[in-house]
Amino acid sequence: MNIINSNLQFKGLSYGNNPDLILLHHAEASSCTVYDIHNWHLARGWAGCGYHYFVRKDGSIYTGRPENAIGAHCPNVNSHSIGICAEGAYMIEAMPEIQKQAIIDLCKYIKGKYNIQKILGHKEVPYPTDCPGINYPLDEIRDAVMNNISQPIEQSKPQTQDSEWIRSIQHLCNQLGIKGANGLPLDEDNIFGRNTEYAIKQLPVAKIQGYHNDLYTRWIQKRLGISVDGIFYKECDKAVRDYQASHGLSVDGQVGFNTIRRMIGVI
């Protein structure tokens, strides 16, 4: 199990969380990222992402706030729970199997770490909400995790993955003279924030027989693991299309905003 370090920047967290339960949520959004959640919660005046973990439909797991920080996901239990949010709107959708298994694996890890004996859906606290949704496989997840109670739990610490591709694209933008929303060069801090997002949107769409820049094309080729020659031609076009197909993106051979975001690990 890999847990991706989201590198979120919070605005004043409170600590002292003492987990004795796992609380499961859905984002009530069919498609979103932990960065979307973080920005939504900041807009509410919160410290940032209220959950401790965020699990995407593709099974990737991202950090939210630290486990020892008091959550902002359910008022009655924020000080003694680990909040896990799943991408999706599970009042109307069905959860992908890969996402369900990732949540099970994460819950098993947390259960073993804190000797937790209770896993609840948000609405079960009780709390006046439909979360995590009528289609959320709550009982399946709970049974899969809690049925191991009588068995020795051998949990290895998950590897937190600090991707350097955000820093790499920040460096590229600075090389190309593309600035952030504040009109300044980007801080090469490996944090996907407002300025980095703004700068990436200024990158022209890279495609075969279209926009060409040696530095940009070399970055794409390096990211895709193909020969690096600075020429966006047939090999590069095929590699882009293969990458898009294997990562649930529109297959058009064009490296636009969504493809770049997937390449640096923020969607």
135 and 81, same structural domain?
Answer: yes
Residue-by-residue pLDDT tens, the chain, 267 positions: 778 888 888 999 999 999 999 999 999 999 898 989 999 999 999 999 999 999 999 888 999 999 999 999 999 899 999 999 999 999 999 999 999 999 999 999 999 999 999 999 999 998 899 999 999 999 999 999 988 643 333 444 444 444 688 999 999 999 999 999 889 999 988 888 888 999 999 998 888 877 667 899 999 999 988 888 888 989 999 999 988 888 888 899 999 999 999 899 876
**Can you list the positions of beta strands (E) in 32-105?**
53-55, 61-63, 81-86
238 and 171, same structural domain?
Answer: yes
Residue 211 is predicted with a pLDDT of: 65
Residue 157 is predicted with a pLDDT of: 47
193 and 111, same structural domain?
Answer: no
201 and 99, same structural domain?
Answer: no
167 and 123, same structural domain?
Answer: no
Residue 176 near residue 213, CB atoms below 8 Å: yes
Residue 219 near residue 226, CB atoms below 8 Å: no
**Residue 33 backbone dihedrals phi, psi, to 5 degrees:** -120, 170
What are the tokens at 127?
Answer: 């709390």
145 and 201, same structural domain?
Answer: no
122 and 21, same structural domain?
Answer: yes
257 and 150, same structural domain?
Answer: no
Residue 74 near residue 125, CB atoms below 8 Å: yes
Residue 149 is predicted with a pLDDT of: 40
The boundaries of the domain holding residue 15 are 2-160
139 and 47, same structural domain?
Answer: yes
**Residue 83's closest CA among 168, 123, 25?**
25
What are the tokens at 123?
Answer: 């609405």
The HSE-up count of residue 147 (CA atoms within 13 Å, CB side) is 8
Q: What is the pTM of this model?
A: 0.61
114 and 80, same structural domain?
Answer: yes
Task: Single out the residue in 160, 184, 200 at which a domain terminates.
Answer: 160
Amino acid identity, position 55: V
| Residue 7 backbone zone (phi > 0: left; psi -120 to 50: alpha; other: beta) | left
Task: Single out the residue in 160, 194, 226 at which a domain terminates.
Answer: 160
**Residue 259's closest CA among 210, 213, 218, 203?**
203
179 and 92, same structural domain?
Answer: no
State how far the Cα of 254 lies from the Cα of 265, in Å rounded to an integer: 18
Residue 266 is predicted with a pLDDT of: 79
Task: Residue 216: give its domain's CATH number.
Answer: 1.10.101.10
Q: Is 62 helix (H, G, I), strand (E, B) or coil?
A: strand
Q: How many domains does the chain have?
A: 2
